[in-house]
Amino acid sequence: MVRVAVVDREYCKPNKCNLECIRFCPVNKTKHKKAIELSPDGKHAVIYEDICIGCGICVKKCPFNAISIVNLPDELEKNVVHRYGENMFKLYNLPIPRLGNIMGIIGRNGSGKTTSIKILSGLLKPNLGQVGADLEWDDIIRRFRGTELQTYFAKLANNEIKPIVKIQYVELVKRRLKGRVGELLKKADERGIVREVVDKLAIKHILDRKTSELSGGELQKFLVAAVLVKDADAYFFDEPCSYLDVKERLRVAQAIREFIDVSKKYIMVVEHDLMILDYISDQVSIIYGEPGVYGIVSKPYGVRTGINHYLEGYLPAENMRIRREPIHFRIQVDTRVKPETEYPILKWTNIVKTYRTSGFKLFIEAGEAYPGEVLGIIGPNGIGKTTFIKLLGGILEPDEGEVLVSVETISFKPQELSPKIFPEETVAANLRRASPSTLNPASWIYAELIRKLGLNKMLDRYVADLSGGELQKLAVAVALAKQADLYLLDEPSAYLDVEERLSVAKVIRRIIEEKRKTAMIVEHDLMLQNFVSDEVIVFSGKPGVEGYASKPMSNREGFNKLLRELGITVRRDPQSGRPRVNKPGSYLDRQQKSIGQYYMP
């Protein structure tokens, strides 16, 4: 076995502990050798993997959960591709770029997806595990001899592959790229296709805007467009669907196929919305391991079986169990039977509301919501979802109709994770501000919210140092911890991996049931939306002009309505039960359309 010891520098704080890891290490106690000691600058612990016996005592003793130790089979060592440094993350294998196939990548956050993309796009030269070494390309190419990666790296080393990456965190663009969208796209356009791309992604209306004025979804489409117009040989899309509605997600998927010739170009996509990843990719590679410690890239699988294996938690080609439990998305389609004794927490008649200044008009169908109920909200941006909530909360007055039972307080998690929503510096201070009881380890909210989201491990960390996924979990926790009658969470899945999406969904349901309040969840990952919501309200119409909000309806009815408007049919995968988008014009597509069953008949 080979030992991999990782000390997380964000968590290790020798000036705040009693150096328990060093004092209790049984090897250190022998006085001949040291398996663990402080770094020369005293800032973190250093573990010598060849001396450490892997007893795990330091892992348990560390008050900040900064240490991870795993033992991996010897034969895996020949597959090390990169290690960031001593006691840092280690990546084994790489996803294989292939002409003729779009390669999807699935894996937990912190498992090495971005690292793989950085290596394959030439941004990071792999060190094959030899920390500090600046290897010659010949050494790297030799290491991959006899594999498809040999040819790929040979071309990359000779500058015969020009790569382009759609980065994960679209918010970064606001700071780094200043100017107007139209001008920036024109400048990027090496293929003379900017007009077609703008049409396909429907972004004409933002061409005159500055990047600083764009919403999350608009930034996302702008970046996807900027990548498509580049004349590259290898295209990498790191989470291209966050902040986009269902229609836009499908458009992005279609645009990637339409504008990049997959027979001549390498294409890779990282995406956690599995219905979309399934729709975009031909094959998938799964990255498994322990987030932040090590990641192993699987062999490529066909897209359907690969996603099913991932959900099942077992990879047959490598004979590897990657998770103890399978992931089951509860696909609930029929209406919940409401107990007759219950009073609604919210009740409204048919409502009409017009904004005098913009002229936007919203029509709402009468409906009600009950304590403990989670309502899903689906529909495009700019269609009146926020206006609807403001009417329910009495912040706006209807022109026609009325809210019969209104809520007094609303707790809101906005879509974009700007610093504004975290007024305090640390994770703990923000949670305490939301509700003092959140940090009491004996409280149910600590057990059900803080611990279930893994926030207990990062209480001392600064908000500014958190990753997108960590910020999202904090934002959801802050919103749910507050006292309110109605909880509105706008896209709680952005930047979360599949497993985190599932735990956030479970946490939302549990907290709302326990508090006997109501939540409305705006969510475009349909698999997740179906999992989290009891019923859905479907928004349709013309964004910015006119919106229609349906009454709350069963998932089946709501999804049917949404997909009918999009002209898309979705079938059920017989093995996993998950939703899969039908190819337009295929037998199933035509059959489902003919019987009007757009969602999983």
| Residue placing its CB nearer to ligand SF4 in the complex, 26 or 567 | 26
Residue 476 near which of ligand SF4, ligand ADP, none (CB within 5-8 Å, type-dependent): none
Which residue, 315 or 581, is less far from ligand ADP as judged by CB?
A: 315
CB of 7 to ligand ADP, least distance (A): 11
Contact 82, 94 (CB under 8 A): no
What is the closest distance, in whole angstroms, from the C-beta atom of residue 281 to ligand SF4 in the complex?
40
Least distance CB 111 / ligand ADP (angstroms): 4
89 binds, among ligand SF4, ligand ADP, none (CB under 5 to 8 A by kind): ligand ADP
**Cα angle for residues 480, 485, 486 (degrees, 5° grid):** 65
Conformational region of residue 179, where left means phi above 0, alpha means psi within -120 to 50, and beta covers everything else = left
- Are residues 519 and 490 in contact, defined by beta-carbon separation less than 8 angstroms? no
- Nearest 5°: the CA angle 501, 503, 507 is 115
| Min dist. Cβ of residue 186 to ligand ADP (A) | 27
Least distance from C-beta 151 to ligand ADP, angstroms? Answer: 24
How far is it, in rounded angstroms, from Cα 155 to Cα 162?
9
Which of positions 533-562 make contact with ligand ADP (CB under 6 A)? 544
384 binds, among ligand SF4, ligand ADP, none (CB under 5 to 8 A by kind): ligand ADP
Binding site for ligand SF4 (CB under 6 A): 25-27, 35-36, 47, 52-58, 69
Judged by CB, which is closer to ligand ADP: 300, or 384?
A: 384
Q: Across 234-313, where does the E strand assignment appear?
A: 234-238, 266-270, 283-290, 294-297, 301-302
126 binds ligand ADP (CB under 6 A): no
- Cβ proximity to ligand ADP: between 4 and 383 the closer is 383
Q: What are phi and psi of 186, to 5 degrees?
A: -60, -40
* DSSP string across 63-125: TT--EEEEEE-GGGGGGEEEE-STTS-EEES-----TT-EEEEEE-TTSSHHHHHHHHTTSS-
**Which residues between 89 and 118 bind ligand ADP (CB under 6 A)?**
89, 107, 109-115
CA atoms within 13 A on the CB side of 412: 12
Min CB(23)–ligand SF4 separation in Å: 10
Candidates 84, 314, 412, 462: give the one binding ligand ADP (CB under 6 A). Answer: 84
**Which 3 state secondary structure label does DSSP give 15?**
helix
Question: Does position 393 bind ligand ADP by CB under 6 A?
Answer: no
Supply the DSSP symbol for 570: E
The set of residues, in sequence order, having a beta carbon less than 8 Å from that of 395 and lying 6+ positions away, is none
Closest distance to ligand ADP from the beta carbon of 454 (Å): 14
Q: Is 472 in the site for ligand ADP (CB under 6 A)?
A: no
Q: How far is the CB of 467 from ligand ADP (least distance, A)?
A: 7
Task: Say which entry of ligand SF4, ligand ADP, none residue 550 contacts (CB below 5 to 8 A, set by partner kind).
Answer: none
Which residues have CB under 8 Å from 176's CB, separation 6+?
Answer: none
CA distance 281 to 237: 12
Tokens for 305?
Answer: 């079986």
- Which range binds ligand ADP by CB under 6 A, 180-188, 350-358, 402-410, 591-599? 350-358
* Binder of residue 52, out of ligand ADP, ligand SF4, none (CB less than 5 to 8 A by kind): ligand SF4
Closest CA to 155 of 268, 266, 81: 266
C-beta of 45 vs 508, nearer to ligand SF4:
45
Report CA-CA distances (Å) from 197 to 167, 222, 526, 527.
Answer: 18, 10, 26, 28
DSSP string, 492-510: TTTT--HHHHHHHHHHHHH
Strands, DSSP E only, in 399-450? 403-405, 410-413
Asked if 88 is part of the footprint of ligand ADP (rule: CB under 6 A), the reply reads yes
Least distance in Å: CB of 462 to ligand SF4? 27
Residue 576 is a binding residue for ligand ADP (CB under 6 A): no
Q: Are 183 and 150 in contact (CB under 8 A)?
A: no
| Residue 161 or 520 having the CB closest to ligand ADP | 520
Count of residues of this chain found to bind ligand ADP when the rule CB under 6 A is applied: 24
Q: Give the CA angle between residues 485, 489, 494 to the nearest 5°.
A: 165
Binding site residues, ligand ADP, CB under 6 A: 84, 88-89, 107, 109-115, 292, 355, 357-358, 360, 381-387, 544
